[in-house]
Amino acid sequence: MLRFLLTPRWLGLLVAVLVVGGVCLQLGRWQLSRYDDRLSSNETVRANLVADPVPASEVLDESSGPTTAEQWRVVEATGTYDVDNQMFVLYRTRDRQPGVEVVVPLVTESGTALIVDRGWIRALANGNEVPAAPIPPAGEVTVTGWVRIDAEGDSSKVTESTGTMRAISSREIEESLPYDVYDGFIELTSEDPAVTPAPVQAAPPDIGSGPHFFYGLQWFFFALLALTFWFYFAWSEYKQRGAVETPSSQRPSDPTVDREHDAGDVAGRR
């Protein structure tokens, strides 16, 4: 009765289920791999966030950007803000409010500048207009902040006429400056001397595990669900075929029934 499973229709359905199940399993494994990568990355970020500050020149240089393992490392540098070359990152939202981020080069004693994201300020419209920014400390200032890797792509292009961009890239900013800059930038956490008012400083990074683990479980469930459906439909087909064949075994032409009728007929004739 199970020979129907060997028909092209059922074999084709089985192949389709196996393909779908295999794809779901691979996607589940991929999500779990991303989950493991996230956990490993979070461990590095946690260690970097609590580490003692080190000179920016020990982590950053002019020829190569910081590595992934160096991102969120706490560094410090001393120099003078170049307010004349202050720039802005557009379309930055904070607590559902439109705004921009204020970016100012800090020219260090070596002559190389460190790109500093001083923080967020509220803007009009949808964050595409530049408001008046708080003035940074004058003279020599010591900054402390988190190392960040440059953005890539068209969003990091600087519009020189307005000094605006959509993402920070020290390489792109350097093209409009008269001095060299460190590759990479920092998000400011403190500056000495401090001034008021000042931009709202960046929040620490999210070091949660993310949704990858549960996404992986969902894909494994989908793979099991596909196989379960195949077995369910196969069982339903089996039951239907059994229901059709059972009455045929009790039709009036059954030899046993015929013999009983024959015996009754003989008795009646007597």
Residue 114: strand, helix, or coil = strand
Domain count, the chain: 1
Residue 111 covered by a domain: yes
Terminal Cα-to-Cα distance of the chain (whole angstroms): 47
* pLDDT tens sequence across 15-48: 888 898 899 999 999 999 999 988 888 898 999 9
> Does any domain span residue 139?
yes
141 falls within a domain: yes
* Structural domain that includes position 57: 46-192
Strands 87-94, 164-165: parallel, antiparallel or unpaired by DSSP? parallel
Instruction: Output the six-digit token pair for 213.
Output: 């683990």
Residue 166 inside a domain? The answer is yes
Q: Residue 231: its pLDDT value, please? A: 83
> Tell me: the pLDDT tens digits for 113-151?
999 999 999 988 777 778 889 999 999 999 999 999 999
Q: Which residue type sits at 263?
A: A
Question: Is 241 inside any structural domain?
Answer: no
State the pLDDT at residue 243. 63
**Is residue 212 a part of any domain in this protein?**
no
202 and 187 Cβ atoms separated by less than 8 Å? yes
What does the alpha-carbon distance between residue 119 and residue 115 come to, in Å, rounded to a whole number? 12
In a domain? residue 12? no
Helix 212-248 to helix 8-50 angle (10° resolution) is 160
Grade residue 51 by pLDDT with cuts at 50, 70 and 90. Answer: very high
Q: What is the pTM of this model?
A: 0.73
Confirm whether 74 is domain-assigned.
Answer: yes
